[in-house]
Structure 1
């Protein structure tokens, strides 16, 4: 099993991610001006950039807002930062249903959030991403490469918005899914995948992203280990979420990892016996 993981992590990541990094980014060079609310309870739209300001409306989960990125608005955002979970973020001036107001940047994403009853990462991609041609690699992993006596399979699909999906399955790895998303950040993706059915119960155990290692138990006594890493800036609040790794055993060994790769975010989920 260890040898197959070595193949997947070294061969797949090196040849897929590095060889195709320019292709991926070419599909998504233009920053979208449309954002989506990522909080289950909705995102509050304030009259001015302050949590003490009047709430004009609440943007429902998954609903669109349009970013007004004038120079004056950019200065307003920079001058009015806010600290969420110990990290600095900023306000954004947006329009929702013809109502203009301010929202906290980290509560929005440029990618459509998962719909209700979305079970897996690959199911989520099907909701908003169109494949670019056919799967450009699919088949059995050669024994000489995987160093395994058993059949293991891999397939990859690139989408028109630059997202790359890699799926493996077989004897040594029950299943794994890897999604590489261009031009986003770890915190936005962290908020998004909380709504995927396979992970909902996991994220409910820990609602604060404290740096370092921590452990939690579910109602059945299964232990969940969290490892959170931030890249620090000059001030204590000026830090950027770099990676989150969650491991647990509920009959199977599970690993969920969100990590930064340049301007992209990679989500890796694996379950093994």
Structure 2
């Protein structure tokens, strides 16, 4: 990431986020009871909390289920947890089209996944919520601040669901988008944005998500540098995803990252010459 690019991201995103964190957190809601399937191939609904149990149905991508765990169910879920791709997941008892069964929690999100043919982060957030008024901030980043002789522009828009979208464009950064999503986690957001058109092919290259640095090539020989960080959870030996960063060049330089910022997640994508 170039010096100018780092400044653009810092100025257009994090400074605004940190100074307005109280405003954004006012959008926090109680734990929702509705979840949406995030796997493009659908998610199996099992008769009991075990992958060896009979499959009662397949929850189609984007379809919703209703959470229905009791206290007794929750104890059973903990005892039957699984570690998939380095991350522990638990079972949820849900209702899908009047059928009661069990699903793995990591295959669901409280946020609707992108619709088919969704091209970018900005397209997805507009499917989820309406913006609040006009763009929160919109203007030119001065040459002095950006440490660049070229014009660069940014805009920031907050949405009714508490998401915050920042876009930049100009000579130093052809295009970038950063989306802050309140009260979620890196793995959930990774599963959601896998279905955005501009990210789909890239994120399918390394679905195992191994910790550390990994080099992956696509069928055209393009090289993708993955850096995945995990952190140990308090009171447990389990590790959760802290950040995912992918850098590649297919004629232009690209960076895609998903990282935790407190209880929120920031997705950042840019391309530069």
Query: Under TM normalisation by the shorter chain, which class is it?
Result: over 0.9
3-state secondary structure, aligned to 2:53: coil
Residue 44 (structure 1) shift: 0.6
Residue 72 (structure 1) shift: 2.4
Please state if 1:265 is matched with 2:254: no
Contact (CA 8 Å) 2:13, 2:178: kept in 1 or not? no
Residue 2 (structure 1) shift: 3.3
3-state secondary structure, aligned to 1:22: helix
Residue 8 (structure 1) shift: 1.9
What are structure 2's unaligned runs of at least 5 residues?
none
What are structure 1's unaligned runs of at least 5 residues?
none
Q: How does 1:1-273 map to 2 (within 5 A)?
A: 2-233=2-233, 236=237, 238-273=238-273
Contact (CA 8 Å) 2:180, 2:264: kept in 1 or not? yes
Residue 201 (structure 1) shift: 1.3
Runs of 4+ aligned structure 1 residues displaced above 3 Å come to 233-236
Contact (CA 8 Å) 2:12, 2:156: kept in 1 or not? no
Q: Distance in 2 between matches of 1:41 and 1:14?
A: 35
Number of corresponding residues: 272
Q: Distance in 1 between matches of 2:85 and 2:218?
A: 23
Residue 31 (structure 1) shift: 2.0
Of residues 196-205 and 55-64 in structure 1, the stretch that sits farther from structure 2 once superposed is 196-205
* Alignment TM-score, normalising by the size of structure 1: 0.95
Q: Distance in 1 between matches of 2:97 and 2:170?
A: 48
Residue 145 (structure 1) shift: 1.4
Could you give the per-residue CA deviations for residues 189-224 of structure 1, whole angstroms, max 9, x where no partner exists?
001111111111112221211101111111221100
3-state secondary structure, aligned to 2:90: strand
Q: Distance in 2 between matches of 1:14 and 1:202?
A: 26
Residue 71 (structure 1) shift: 2.1
Q: Distance in 2 between matches of 1:245 and 1:206?
A: 12
Q: Distance in 2 between matches of 1:110 and 1:59?
A: 15
Contact (CA 8 Å) 1:3, 1:148: kept in 2 or not? no
* Alignment TM-score, normalising by the size of structure 2: 0.95
Contact (CA 8 Å) 1:157, 1:165: kept in 2 or not? yes
Q: CA RMSD in A?
A: 1.5
Q: Distance in 1 between matches of 2:236 and 2:3?
A: 42
Residue 253 (structure 1) shift: 0.2
Residue 235 (structure 1) shift: 5.5
Residue 94 (structure 1) shift: 0.8
